[in-house]
């Protein structure tokens, strides 16, 4: 079993329930991972994903090896048949096969380059490991998805929702750097598995991949989208159509206390890290409606439910 995308979840409701059970007794399955090793390979920076996934593995009694691949590993070649007479020192074929001998599960973080849409959509790094590794693979944020984050988001919403069918708004907000669409993509996919009134709001032109958003509602008027919302989930992403470009920096899209007043006393969510007073004002982030710290805490239980399922399904 791999955990590559939200589509790998057979029942979101069941997984969320299991995660909440794990949260109550995180050390209950301490023996499950005995003598098993999680290898965590980072091609990009991380705080939450690194520490929460490591914590989850430790809660299950696993050993953990972490490698910052970009700074510590050999530069990898992913193309079949490549003549490796320039930058790359090692082919994914050997690298993935070798790491598979040291680890029982390999978790990988490899962001979008945001230069070549086709290449990013092909998930070169993740696909390379999936093809050549011989052990289960976990996606710790790839070019197009961050399914550990959105599972944690689902857990957090389950804890905070006060009605069966809440209104949930995914709102774009400005950011000075070009960011991938991965978090937003997985959030959309996760919301499509929920019974909720789900609305995506962003400036015109900032549409996400339509193969992911499918028939999810898009509202270009942020104020209108916020009306009566129960959850505001804010995230920046760079332009998907004009791939990887920043075509809008309008600070009118920053989430403010005034905008939050349009909602049904909504909870404020963000995956973190967040740029204060660019994405969201201090007032909102520091308010009692902000649940971003609890959301980050739930990253551990999201990772733990995933690792637990993989361990149980492995020989």
Residue numbers in the known binding site for N(2)-succinyl-L-ornithine are 141, 175, 235, 275
Residue 279 half-sphere exposure toward CB, CA atoms < 13 A: 22
Cβ nearer to ligand CP, comparing 113 with 273: 273
Site residue total, ligand CP (CB under 6 A): 9
3-state helix, strand, coil in the chain (%, to 5): 40, 15, 45
Torsion of CA 106, 104, 6, 123, to 10 degrees: 30
What residues are designated binding site? 46-49, 74, 109, 141, 146-149, 175, 235, 271-272, 275, 299
Among 46, 127, 209, 287, binds ligand CP (CB under 6 A): 46
CB of 298 to ligand CP, least distance (A): 11
In angstroms, rounded to a whole number, what is the distance separating the alpha carbons of residues 42 and 106? 11
**Position 48 contacts ligand CP (CB under 6 A):** yes
CB of 272 to ligand CP, least distance (A): 5
**DSSP E strand boundaries for the chain:** 37-42, 63-68, 76-77, 90-91, 105-109, 137-139, 167-172, 197-201, 217-218, 231-235, 267-269
- List the interface residues with ligand CP, window 139-198 (CB under 6 A): 141, 149
How far the first Cα of the chain sits from its last, in Å, is 11
Cβ nearer to ligand CP, comparing 100 with 234: 234
What mask of x and - would describe binding to ligand CP in positions 253 to 282, judged by CB under 6 A?
------------------xxx---------
Q: Is the peptide bond prior to 175 cis by the omega test (within 30 degrees of 0)? A: no
Cβ nearer to ligand CP, comparing 191 with 271: 271
**Position 54 contacts ligand CP (CB under 6 A):** no
Residue number with the smallest Cβ distance to ligand CP: 49
Cβ nearer to ligand CP, comparing 59 with 139: 139
CB crowding 108-125: b at 16 or more within 10 Å, else e:
bbbbbebeebeebeebbb
In angstroms, rounded to a whole number, what is the distance separating the alpha carbons of residues 298 and 225? 26
Cβ nearer to ligand CP, comparing 149 with 308: 149
In angstroms, rounded to a whole number, what is the distance separating the alpha carbons of residues 104 and 139? 15
CB of 266 to ligand CP, least distance (A): 20
Among 22, 39, 42, 49, binds ligand CP (CB under 6 A): 49
Are the C-beta atoms of residues 237 and 111 closer than 8 Å to each other?
no
- Considering only the stretches 45-53, 189-197, 232-240, 245-253, report the one whose residues sit in contact with ligand CP under the rule CB under 6 A: 45-53
- Considering only the stretches 42-50, 72-80, 127-135, 172-180, report the one whose residues sit in contact with ligand CP under the rule CB under 6 A: 42-50
| Contacting residues toward ligand CP, per CB under 6 A | 46-49, 141, 149, 271-273
């Amino acid at each position: 079993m791999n955990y590559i995308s939200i589509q790998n979840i057979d029942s979101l409701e069941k997984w969320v329930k299991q995660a909440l059970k794990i949260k109550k007794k995180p050390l209950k399955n301490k023996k499950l991972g005995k003598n098993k090793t999680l290898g965590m390979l980072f091609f990009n920076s991380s705080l939450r994903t690194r520490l929460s996934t490591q914590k989850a593995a430790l809660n299950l009694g696993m050993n953990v090896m972490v490698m910052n691949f970009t700074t510590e590993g050999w530069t990898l070649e992913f193309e079949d048949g490549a003549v490796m007479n320039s930058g790359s020192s090692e082919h994914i074929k050997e690298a993935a096969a070798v790491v598979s001998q040291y680890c029982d599960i390999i978790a990988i973080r490899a962001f979008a380059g945001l230069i070549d849409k086709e290449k990013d959509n092909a998930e070169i790094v993740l696909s390379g490991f999936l093809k050549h590794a011989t052990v289960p693979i976990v996606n710790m944020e790839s070019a197009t998805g961050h399914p550990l984050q959105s599972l944690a988001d689902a857990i957090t919403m389950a804890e905070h929702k006060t009605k069966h069918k809440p209104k949930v708004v995914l709102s774009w907000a400005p950011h000075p750097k070009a960011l991938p669409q991965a978090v937003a993509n997985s959030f959309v996919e996760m919301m499509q598995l929920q019974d909720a009134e789900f609305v995506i709001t962003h400036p015109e032109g900032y549409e996400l991949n339509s193969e992911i958003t499918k028939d999810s509602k898009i509202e270009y008027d942020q104020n209108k989208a916020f009306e009566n919302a129960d959850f505001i989930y804010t995230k920046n992403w760079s332009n998907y159509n004009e791939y990887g470009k920043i075509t809008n920096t309008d600070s009118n899209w920053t989430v403010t206390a005034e905008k939050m007043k349009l909602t049904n006393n909504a909870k404020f969510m963000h995956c973190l890290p967040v740029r204060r007073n660019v994405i969201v004002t201090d007032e909102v982030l520091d308010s009692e409606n902000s649940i971003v710290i609890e959301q980050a805490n739930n990253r551990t239980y999201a990772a733990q439910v995933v690792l637990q399922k993989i361990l149980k399904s492995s020989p």
